[in-house]
Amino acid sequence: MKSTIRAASRPIVLAAIRDGEWRLHVRSKLDACGILTFIDDARDLPAAARLHMPDVALWHLDTLVDSIDAYVAAFRDFRLVAPRSAVIAYGHVGRATAHLLFVAGRVGADRVLLRGFDDLERGISEALQSTRIESAIRHTLERCDVPAGSAATAFEHCLRTTSVGPVSVQKLSAALHVNRKTVGTWLRRAELPAPERLISWCRAYWVAHLLRDEDRSVADVARTLRFSSESDLRRMVARHAHCTPSRLRGFDGADVVLAAFPRAGTPSDAPAPHRSTGTPH
C-alpha cells in the first residue's frame, strides 16, 4: 500500500509505549515513513520533547493510567514545549476502552485511533495536516494583525474553509449565520478586503502552503484545493500573490503571499475580481 505520509517530510514521532509487542507493531507501521523515538511513560513526554522536537506524540492507551491528573499535567506541559505537535492516543477495543477514551479526552488528545479499526499511518497523516492547518491559521491572523471580533471570526472561517477548496460568499455568510452585507461590513470596519477578494487571497495562501512540499506538482495542488484547472490556479496566484507558483515553493512561499495581503481600499491589479470555476462547498 502506498504511504500516506510523504517521504520528503518524514514526521518525528515520539511514542510513549511501554509494551514490547505494541512497539513492534508501531515500528512495522511507521519505520518507513517516520522517525521514531520510544519512551516508556507519557508523563515523560515534556522532557523528551525538549530533546526531540516531535511532530507527533503517540500515546499508547493501556491499563497503566493510574493518575489522570498527572497525565493531564504532563500533556499540558508537553503542549507548552511542543505547541505545534499533534497528540494521538492509540489503543484497542476492550473492557477498559470507555475509560481510556475518557482519559484521552481529559488530556486533550487531537485524535484517538483504535488498533484493528483505524489505519495508524493514515491517522497520523490526517492529524498532522489538521495541526499544520490550524497552526498556519493562527500564524496568518497574527501576521495580518486582525483584531479580535467578528472580522477575525470571518477571516478565520474563510481560511479554514478554503484550506480544502473554494467557498462562495453566500456559504461563508450562512456559516457565520449572517447575510453577505454583514460580512462585508465586518471586514471593511477591520480594514480587511471585501469577501470575494479575501476568499481568493486565502486560496492563493493555501497554494503556497501545499507547495512547501517539493514532491507536489502544481497540478496536484490544483486538484487538492479543487481548482477547476491548473491554469485557474496560476491566474489566482498571479493576481493575489503577484508571482508564479514556482516562486511559492519552499518554506518562504507563504511569506510571499502574506506580503501581498490586501487591505481595504487597496486597488486590485485587474479590473474585475477573479472568479474561480472550482465548485464551492
Contact by Cβ (8 Å): 195, 244 = no
Structural domains in the chain plus CATH codes: 7-131 (3.40.50.2300), 144-259 (1.10.10.60)
Q: Which cell is 62 given?
A: 493501556
pLDDT in tens, 83-118: 888 899 998 877 767 777 888 888 889 899 999 889
What pLDDT sits at residue 270?
42
Residues of the chain with pLDDT under 70: 1-9, 63-66, 96, 263-281
Q: Which three cell numbers stand for residue 266?
A: 487597496
Cell digits for 35? 522517525
The pLDDT score that the predictor gives to residue 277 is 42
Quick one: pLDDT at residue 9?
61
**Nearest alpha carbon to residue 20 among 41, 47, 40:** 40
Nearest CA among 235, 215, 216, 217 for reference residue 278: 235
Strand partners, 58: 15, 88
Amino acid 145: pLDDT: 87
84's torsion region: left (phi>0), alpha (psi -120 to 50) or beta? alpha
Distance between CA 233 and CA 40 in Å, rounded? 47
Give 3-state DSSP helix, strand, coil % of the chain, rounded to 5: 55, 10, 40
- pLDDT at residue number 63: 64
- Residue 16, helix vs strand vs coil: strand
Question: Using CA atoms in the order 131, 73, 50, 214, what is the torsion angle rounded to 10 degrees?
Answer: -10
CB atoms under 10 Å from CB of 83, counted, come to: 10
Q: What's residue 174's pLDDT?
A: 95
